[in-house]
Chain A
């Protein structure tokens, strides 16, 4: 972590401690945003940190944003933070101008029915916080290119839904809706960016689950001693610690230079780490962890919600494998050792 990043981490951790607690998590399951959290984020320029300085941002890197999101993931902070941060950057890169409020973001592989700026029989699945945002951004693939579509929430018919963590993910339909649109570069690069940022959030939640489980194992007593003194519990937590450390190093490598190969690897490795975090942290917690009241599920349900976001774990495994299949036995190792350093095929 560089100096800026240490500063970002301290800042976001302070904000989270002040504004996100049990009440905010509960309210999010009633479709209410943590207002105080987001107003401080906006005030501190964090939602717009990815914008260049001349358009009102601070020119932060995606790696800097990953620091923010790792901490937000650890706190299980609800709301479209990742979406707003990246959507701001999308708006700026495509020349569609800045937005003031929060933004939602989805990626789609095709937009049938879109002609010019008029979109007929439009359908969007799993749109985060569609009722709480100023604009809904859609990154639509056409070949390798991305087309950015910007729409008004009011133009859609909304069927409320939610993800495994209880945060809003809505089904939006419209017989016809007007969108503003512009080309915004390479689709896969934007998907990679979103995926890497989600990885940071997943990592944060998984790290929290490990830490909490270790603490709990040192508090809870059975058979006259702390359960952490039992070798079976120690072995489970040691295994989880390995998963988390491995996932953390590869996510950091991915965040550092946003290389597509490392991002794909991070999402794949993190998939296994998230599964282990869910299984082991709950096992260590016994029935308590299964209650809604106890905080563990706010993290593990986010792991469930996020694990396959912005490209599923299996999608990223296929992407990763394609970087290496077709290589000779002699060329395979150099490709592994140089991964992240070279332009992908």
Chain B
């Protein structure tokens, strides 16, 4: 992409994708009927291993992966459609989300045959979850400055360091850690590698960090002389930076970047009813138009992935716009709720709870997965300014 052709082709949704959408909607209706999906009072991806199991039973984890590794060989567009349906219905997909979105695909792309055979079928069957071990106390946006080291020992690696903000480290099986495997000589992006760490291994200490929304989602992970075998290395030693860039593109391109608080808007629409003030319609109409535009953008990005392209810049744009949209949605929902007299009077308790949680959560939207300032730097490079 350059300034001259800032352009995204919008793909046509295939009949297979539309069929899958219907299947997912039927699944959601069944889950609602059985009481497994009560209307939520918090935003975010719930962590629910039973739900993950039910999703895996339908073959919906690793949907695009080769059959020999437990996948279904379906298209990226189908996966997009499935995910938007699940997210919009607030299905708790948090347990398998990272493994399905990025750990599995990284293994598929860079892993050894043995790694693929070992991990992918377990992920696809809903029995194996991952977390992301990138950030460190001294290395956030400037990830390449990381200090965690993996030193060569007979038959493997010895890892020392400290990872932080590691979402779900207390309830998943593995972490893909980014660590320095050789000194940074010259290029600071060189000498970094990706290694799989079993979180039950000796020397791993996971300590909770409670978020300002009062939840225990992320952690500090202390790595003290953690020994991992040779087979823990993903891809090539020293190629970690390239691999992690690919991983971040998976992490940034999905519809969760503008659907994580969708339930707040749908709850608002539900309690508002049809009779609203013009100013409410104007604010709501604006939000919906941004949502529809983001959806078209996301579809186009999924179409690019389907064509084997790597839409780094486009994904950065979707995440920048999507996360800003989500913060804006919280502000607008709050204003509409007060304009329409829905708060402070017990009229809409679920909306009140969602609003409270969404407000507390919203600052994280534009930080997690790479801050918007960093994303805009990537976009600026894409349009030829850097």
CB pair B21 A337 closer than 8 Å: yes
Q: A238-B377, A317-B283, A330-B32 are in contact. List 17 more A-B contacts (CB 8 A).
A: A207-B6, A214-B385, A235-B376, A237-B383, A238-B320, A239-B376, A241-B317, A242-B379, A245-B6, A245-B8, A256-B10, A265-B292, A321-B285, A324-B269, A325-B284, A329-B263, A337-B295
A contact patch SS? helix
Q: How far is the CA of A337 from the CA of B285 in the complex (A)?
A: 16
Q: Which residue of A lies closest to B40 (CB)?
A: A329
Residue among B3, B10, B292, B294 with the highest chain A CB neighbour number at 10 A: B292
B contact patch SS? helix
CB pair A265 B288 closer than 8 Å: yes
B270 contacts which chain A residues (CB < 8 A)? 327-329, 332
- A-B interface pairs (CB < 8 A), number: 176
Instruction: Indicate if A336 sits at the interface (CB-CB under 8 A).
Output: yes
A243 contacts which chain B residues (CB < 8 A)? 321
CB pair A333 B276 closer than 8 Å: no
Min Cβ gap A329→B in Å is 4
Interface string of A310-345 (1 = CB under 8 A from B): 000010111111101111111011101101100000
CB pair B84 A337 closer than 8 Å: yes
| Interface 9-mer from A112-120, A145-153, A175-183, A247-255 | A247-255
Instruction: Indicate if A228 sits at the interface (CB-CB under 8 A).
Output: yes
Q: Which residue of B lies closest to A268 (CB)?
A: B289
- List the 3 closest pairs (A to B, CB-CB), nearest first: A317-B285, A326-B274, A268-B289
How many chain A residues touch B (CB < 8 A): the figure is 60
B280 contacts which chain A residues (CB < 8 A)? 321
Instruction: Indicate if B281 sits at the interface (CB-CB under 8 A).
Output: yes
CB pair A214 B297 closer than 8 Å: no
Instruction: Indicate if A211 sits at the interface (CB-CB under 8 A).
Output: yes
CB pair B278 A318 closer than 8 Å: yes
Q: How far is the CA of A330 from the CA of B285 in the complex (A)?
A: 19
Q: What would be 29 A-B contacts, judged by CB atoms less than 8 Å apart?
A: A211-B3, A215-B3, A218-B384, A218-B385, A235-B380, A238-B380, A239-B320, A239-B376, A241-B6, A242-B317, A243-B321, A249-B297, A252-B296, A256-B10, A265-B289, A268-B286, A314-B282, A317-B289, A318-B282, A318-B285, A320-B289, A321-B280, A327-B269, A330-B266, A333-B262, A333-B266, A337-B85, A337-B295, A340-B292
Min Cβ gap A248→B in Å is 7
Task: Tell which of A215, A249, A333 touches B296, judged by Cβ atoms closer than 8 Å.
Answer: A249
A233 contacts which chain B residues (CB < 8 A)? 385
A339 contacts which chain B residues (CB < 8 A)? 292
- Chain B stretch 47-81: residues in CB contact (< 8 A) with chain A: none
Instruction: Indicate if B144 sits at the interface (CB-CB under 8 A).
Output: no
Q: Which residue of B lies closest to A226 (CB)?
A: B385
Residue among A231, A238, A252, A268 with the highest chain B CB neighbour number at 10 A: A238
Do A237 and B380 contact each other (CB < 8 Å), given the known contacts A246-B293, A268-B286, A321-B282? yes
Q: Which residue of A lies closest to B299 (CB)?
A: A249
A265 contacts which chain B residues (CB < 8 A)? 288-289, 292-293
CB pair A245 B317 closer than 8 Å: yes
Task: Tell which of A249, A267, A317 touches B282, judged by Cβ atoms closer than 8 Å.
Answer: A317
Q: How far is the CA of A266 from the CA of B89 in the complex (A)?
A: 25
CB pair B266 A329 closer than 8 Å: yes
Min Cβ gap B131→A in Å is 28
Do A325 and B6 contact each other (CB < 8 Å), given the known contacts A218-B384, A318-B282, A337-B84? no
CB pair A337 B88 closer than 8 Å: yes
Do A248 and B8 contact each other (CB < 8 Å), given the known contacts A234-B380, A235-B376, A333-B266? yes
Min Cβ gap B155→A in Å is 46
A235 contacts which chain B residues (CB < 8 A)? 373, 376-377, 380
Q: Which residue of A lies closest to B350 (CB)?
A: A329
Interface string of B1-32 (1 = CB under 8 A from A): 00110111010000000000100010000001
Q: How far is the CA of A262 from the CA of B293 in the complex (A)?
A: 9
B272 contacts which chain A residues (CB < 8 A)? 325
Q: Which residue of B lies closest to A267 (CB)?
A: B289
Instruction: Indicate if A135 sits at the interface (CB-CB under 8 A).
Output: no
Task: Tell which of B4, B25, B89, B285 touches A268, judged by Cβ atoms closer than 8 Å.
Answer: B285
B269 contacts which chain A residues (CB < 8 A)? 324-325, 327, 329, 332
Task: Tell which of A231, A242, A272, A325 touches B281, judged by Cβ atoms closer than 8 Å.
Answer: A325
Q: Which residue of A lies closest to B373 (CB)?
A: A235
Task: Tell which of B276, B288, B376 touches A234, judged by Cβ atoms closer than 8 Å.
Answer: B376
Q: How far is the CA of A243 from the CA of B290 in the complex (A)?
A: 10
CB pair B281 A211 closer than 8 Å: no
Q: How far is the CA of A339 from the CA of B291 in the complex (A)?
A: 11
CB pair B32 A264 closer than 8 Å: no
CB pair B385 A248 closer than 8 Å: no
Instruction: Indicate if A221 sits at the interface (CB-CB under 8 A).
Output: no
